[in-house]
Amino acid sequence: MSVPCNIFDVGNSRMEFVRFGKTGVVENFLFARSADAFPPAVSEHLLDGENLVLSVNPAAGNLLISEIERIGARPKALTTADFSSALAIDYDVLSLGVDRIASAFASIHLGEKSPLKIVVDVGTAVTVDVVHNSSFTGGVILPGWRVVSHSLSDSCALLPELEDIYSGRPFGKRTDECIRAGIRNSLVGGITRSIEDIQEAIGEEAEIFLTGGDANLIFRYLPAGTRYYRFLVHLGAYILFLGGYL
């Protein structure tokens, strides 16, 4: 299928546009959720090809769809139901975010022979999802580092809210350094323990996939062989499109 495909992944703090063509990803933009922030190149692309929107933020997703329609293009909002004909889902479908099922679907097609795949998405929230025998079978949800930092600052008068947690220190010499170390350790510990528990519960070694805007923070702490895909959500939607499921 040679028709270009434009895909938006709308998160809780930002959205990312990826355009797929004959050679794969041909262009991408990361920008604020406001549709007013469209770069001119994105507006031009929307009139050429399919336009797919995956959103975990209904208000931002609806605003984006309205803006795409205003330009004169025709968007399609993907839902979990769109993926249900392409893979089995052993989960409460009504509570399953479309980004999670898209990444899970991508892992099936990008993975190798292991029947167990674990997909880690590190963003505003962190998800550790389980794909077993080509079926989405559940997962773990953790707070992302920004959520934890905001909660600490909001609840404790003297603790600052952090703008980043980039620090190589195992412990701090200042309060902000201590918070960085603590949040990083809780994030890494929660993810790695979840992976260990999932593998132990199922009794198999997993292929591990990593994605999300903050994936770079924890990549080096994950098991050897972890596969990082920046556009895993987009790839899931694109594979669905190529497969003729839409």
For residue 161, give the nearest of 151, 173, 169, 172 by alpha carbon: 151
Per-residue b or e along 197-217, where b marks 16 or more CB atoms closer than 10 Å to that residue's CB:
ebbeebeeebbbbbbbbbbeb
Active site residues: 99
Long-range contacts of the stretch 17-25 (C-beta < 8 A, 24+): 17/42, 18/231, 18/234, 19/45, 19/49, 20/234, 20/238, 25/231, 25/234
